[in-house]
């Protein structure tokens, strides 16, 4: 009996010890895990920072009193109080009016970039830098500052405004380069690190996670497939690298969503796979050549999917096939549903457009489509996209301020609405409750002028509306049926 009692007491003592010891050990393990995470981020900073550069740009601009041209980083640019704001520096000009056109004094902008290894140009005495096009556009002088404070004058190797990618060259070799990762493998929730020069504060590191992938239709670039992150990004970070925990570049920090002009938890980066494809073309040819299929496409809404007797709402709808286009020659028809491109499932208009654009001209591509409820395969030979062809294929674009969705006028649409091809834009949607809706603007109307300026396409329209963003008022000349009339739209 005594032995049993001793055993029970021993067990109780052991349990008490475990009760106190295990939490202490767990706490120690938790602290150790945090310590290791901290060291991991410090290691990333040490390995990546020497390849991150500070970019200073000098430029001059001309502007006139007849229009207020919002400078690229004014608080009103580009979409009023709720906007997707490019960031390049706080002191990039002003919006003062002048009675006559005058020459601006030199203005200085700033941004970031990073040194990468080029497959196309391997010179021991030169280094190459990836950054955003909007960091260096309109530049007259570009200065690169390294982490060790060395300074170099850079020249532009090539730029692609449509994807917002630019390549710079400096005359010095043997600089540390960053490894380019695989952005297609990124998953929501992964740790990422943004490094750059916000507000001119060199080599600032911020940490966050991948909030989303495949963000498009934001109106930032013509070709969009953004990584969204909550890593703090501010003016001056633009062009800097977004890296994973291995220190591999997965994106180029490009834009933020902000009401204040500063960090609000939503930043966007160009996936490095897309940026690298563009960069290699710029390095090799000095320009970017994109593929052309020759179709107008639209998102497949649940209502459209039901009307086409589809069991699943997947793919995109072919709204129009251009005459003598690669699509027409391959037998693609209006009303087809494209569900895959080279065995890659299609989830959106933007993703499909990017896939076609990045396909080398004159290469054959297998498409899977659904036609009359049956799945068929079509092989199409991609052609080269020219500026003329691109204007006819521009997808619908939205004007948030006005509540309009517009599209370029193709020859078929011109005939239908009785206007000249290449003159004006067609209104395809009017948002309920918007200023356009309250002004009784109708779907099917054609906007011919914005602020008394003739417009040819959606780019012209967007450019003119942006110039009115500060006044928050725009004058439109609209053709409805066979009548033309002016209308002023105001928004707050």
pLDDT tens-digit map of 434-471: 888 888 898 888 999 998 899 888 878 888 888 887 77
Q: What pLDDT was estimated at residue 115?
A: 94
Q: Where are the alpha helices (DSSP H) in 317-442?
A: 326-330, 349-357, 387-393, 411-417, 435-438
The pair of three-digit structure tokens given for residue 487, joined into one six-digit string: 């209308």
195 class by beta-carbon count within 10 Å (0-12 exposed, 13-18 middle, 19+ buried): buried
Let me know if residue 119 belongs to a domain: yes
Contact 110, 88 (CB under 8 A): yes
311 class by beta-carbon count within 10 Å (0-12 exposed, 13-18 middle, 19+ buried): exposed
Cα distance between residue 325 and residue 344, in whole Å: 22
Going by the DSSP 8-state scheme, the letter that residue 134 receives in this structure is H
Let me know if residue 311 belongs to a domain: yes
pTM over 0.95: no
The pair of three-digit structure tokens given for residue 320, joined into one six-digit string: 């129009």
Cα distance between residue 262 and residue 428, in whole Å: 34
Locate tokens 């390294």: which residue?
A: 146
- Is 200 found in the same domain as 154? yes
The kind and range of the H/E element at 152 are strand 151-160
- Is 407 found in the same domain as 259? no
- Is 358 found in the same domain as 241? no
Other CB atoms within 10 Å distance of the CB of residue 435: 21
Going by the DSSP 8-state scheme, the letter that residue 251 receives in this structure is E
492 class by beta-carbon count within 10 Å (0-12 exposed, 13-18 middle, 19+ buried): exposed
Q: What pLDDT was estimated at residue 312?
A: 78
Tell me, yes or no, if 445 is annotated catalytic.
Answer: no
Let me know if residue 10 belongs to a domain: no
- Is 118 found in the same domain as 72? yes
- The dihedral sign for the CA sequence 87, 92, 98, 100: negative
- Is 316 found in the same domain as 284? no
What CATH number is associated with residue 426?
A: 2.30.42.10
Q: What pLDDT was estimated at residue 99?
A: 46
Q: Binning pLDDT at 50, 70 and 90, where does residue 68 land? A: very low
What CATH number is associated with residue 271?
A: 2.40.10.120
Q: What pLDDT was estimated at residue 17?
A: 56
Residue 168: pLDDT over 90: yes
Cis? peptide before 221, omega within 30° of 0? no
The kind and range of the H/E element at 284 are helix 272-285
Its domain, for residue 361, covers 293-388
Task: Kindly report, residue by residue over 463-487, the tens digit of the pLDDT.
Answer: 888 888 777 888 899 888 878 888 8
Contact 424, 439 (CB under 8 A): no
- Is 265 found in the same domain as 239? yes
Residue 268: pLDDT over 60: yes
Q: What pLDDT was estimated at residue 411?
A: 66
DSSP string computed for 32-70:
HHHHHHHHHHHHHHHHHGGGEEEEEEEE--EE-TTS---
Mean of pLDDT values over 202-208? 86
> Which value, in Å, is the radius of gyration of the alpha carbons in the chain?
27
- Is 445 found in the same domain as 424? yes
- Is 211 found in the same domain as 94? yes
Cα distance between residue 115 and residue 175, in whole Å: 8
Select from 270, 288, 306 the last residue of a domain: 288
Mean of pLDDT values over 77-104? 44
Cα distance between residue 392 and residue 182, in whole Å: 33
Cα distance between residue 115 and residue 113, in whole Å: 7
Select from 288, 322, 345 the last residue of a domain: 288
Name the residue among 345, 337, 329 with its Cα closest to residue 374: 337
Residue 202: pLDDT over 50: yes
Tell me, yes or no, if 238 is annotated catalytic.
Answer: yes
- Is 384 found in the same domain as 448? no
Distance set, CA 6 to CA 3, 18, 267 (Å): 5, 18, 65
Residue 89: pLDDT over 50: no
Q: What pLDDT was estimated at residue 426?
A: 86
- Is 249 found in the same domain as 115? yes
Let me know if residue 5 belongs to a domain: no
Residue 81: pLDDT over 50: no
Give Dmax over CA atoms of the chain in angstroms. 109
Let me know if residue 483 belongs to a domain: yes
Cα distance between residue 401 and residue 80, in whole Å: 8
Name the residue among 391, 156, 171 with its Cα closest to residue 287: 156
Pairing relation of β-strands 473-480 and 446-450?
antiparallel
Let me know if residue 12 belongs to a domain: no
Contact 273, 296 (CB under 8 A): no
Give the number of domains in the chain: 3
Mean of pLDDT values over 286-308? 82
Catalytic-labelled residue, pool 127, 139, 211, 238: 238
Task: Kindly report, residue by residue over 413-442, the tens digit of the pLDDT.
Answer: 677 677 776 688 888 788 888 888 888 898
Task: Kindly report, residue by residue over 327-372, the tens digit of the pLDDT.
Answer: 999 999 888 899 999 999 988 888 888 889 888 889 999 999 998 8
Mean of pLDDT values over 374-382? 92
Select from 264, 288, 312 the last residue of a domain: 288
- Is 245 found in the same domain as 262? yes
Name the residue among 76, 78, 106 with its Cα closest to residue 91: 106
Distance set, CA 262 to CA 75, 80, 86, 197 (Å): 10, 15, 11, 14
Other CB atoms within 10 Å distance of the CB of residue 377: 9
Name the residue among 204, 275, 191 with its Cα closest to residue 233: 204
Residue 76: pLDDT over 50: no
Let me know if residue 129 belongs to a domain: yes
Q: What pLDDT was estimated at residue 5?
A: 59
Locate tokens 């190797």: which residue?
A: 157
Going by the DSSP 8-state scheme, the letter that residue 273 receives in this structure is H
The pair of three-digit structure tokens given for residue 388, joined into one six-digit string: 């003329």
Tell me, yes or no, if 183 is annotated catalytic.
Answer: no
Q: What pLDDT was estimated at residue 93?
A: 42
Q: Binning pLDDT at 50, 70 and 90, where does residue 112 land? A: very high
DSSP string computed for 170-209:
ES------BPB--GGG--TT-EEEEEE-GGG-SSEEEEEE
Return the beta strands (E) in 259-392 as ranges: 267-271, 291-292, 295-299, 316-321, 337-341, 344-345, 364-371, 374-381, 383-384
Going by the DSSP 8-state scheme, the letter that residue 395 receives in this structure is P
Mean per-residue pLDDT over the chain, rounded: 79
Let me know if residue 92 belongs to a domain: yes
- Is 483 found in the same domain as 467? yes
Catalytic-labelled residue, pool 59, 112, 134, 203: 134
């Amino acid at each position: 009996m005594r032995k049993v009692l001793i055993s029970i007491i021993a067990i109780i003592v052991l349990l008490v010890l475990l009760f106190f010891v295990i939490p202490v050990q767990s706490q120690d393990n938790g602290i150790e895990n945090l310590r290791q995470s901290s060291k991991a981020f410090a290691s990333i900073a040490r390995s990546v920072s020497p390849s991150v550069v500070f970019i200073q740009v000098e430029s001059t601009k001309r502007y006139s009193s007849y229009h207020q041209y919002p400078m690229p980083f004014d608080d009103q640019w580009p979409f009023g109080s709720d906007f997707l704001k490019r960031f390049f520096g706080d002191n990039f000009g002003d919006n003062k009016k002048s009675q006559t056109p005058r020459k601006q004094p030199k203005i200085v902008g700033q941004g970031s970039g990073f040194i990468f290894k080029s497959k196309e140009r391997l010179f021991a005495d030169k280094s190459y830098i990836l950054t955003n096009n909007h960091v260096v556009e309109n530049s007259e002088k570009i200065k690169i500052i390294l982490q060790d404070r060395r300074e170099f004058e850079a020249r532009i190797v090539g730029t692609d405004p449509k994807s917002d990618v630019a390549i710079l060259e400096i005359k010095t070799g043997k600089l540390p380069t960053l490894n380019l990762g695989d952005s297609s493998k990124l998953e929501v929730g992964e740790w990422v690190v943004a490094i750059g020069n916000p507000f001119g504060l060199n080599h600032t590191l911020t940490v966050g996670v991948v909030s989303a992938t495949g963000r498009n239709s934001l109106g930032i670039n013509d070709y969009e497939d953004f990584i969204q992150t909550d890593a703090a990004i501010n003016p001056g970070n633009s062009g800097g690298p977004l890296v994973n925990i291995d220190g591999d570049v997965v994106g180029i920090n490009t834009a933020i969503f902000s009401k204040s002009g500063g960090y609000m938890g939503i930043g966007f980066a160009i996936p490095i796979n897309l940026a690298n494809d563009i960069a290699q073309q710029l390095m090799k040819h000095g320009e970017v050549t994109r593929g052309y299929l020759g179709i107008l496409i639209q998102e497949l809404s649940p209502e459209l999917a039901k009307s086409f007797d589809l069991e699943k709402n997947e793919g995109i709808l072919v709204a129009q096939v251009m005459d003598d286009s690669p699509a027409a020659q391959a037998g693609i028809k209006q009303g087809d549903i494209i569900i895959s491109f080279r065995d890659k499932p299609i989830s959106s208009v933007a993703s499909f457009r990017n896939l076609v654009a990045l396909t080398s001209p004159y290469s054959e591509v297998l498409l899977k489509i659904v036609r009359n409820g049956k799945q068929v395969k079509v092989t199409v030979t991609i052609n080269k996209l020219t500026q003329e062809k691109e204007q006819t294929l521009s997808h619908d674009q939205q004007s948030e301020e006005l509540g309009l969705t517009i599209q370029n006028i193709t020859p078929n649409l011109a005939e239908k609405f009785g206007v000249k091809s290449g003159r004006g834009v067609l209104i395809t949607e009017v948002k309920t409750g918007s200023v356009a809706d309250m002004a009784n603007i109708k779907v099917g109307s054609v906007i011919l002028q914005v602020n008394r300026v003739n417009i040819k396409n959606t780019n012209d329209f967007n450019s003119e509306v942006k110039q009115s963003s500060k006044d928050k008022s725009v004058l439109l000349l609209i053709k409805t049926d066979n009548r033309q009339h002016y209308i002023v739209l105001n928004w707050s």
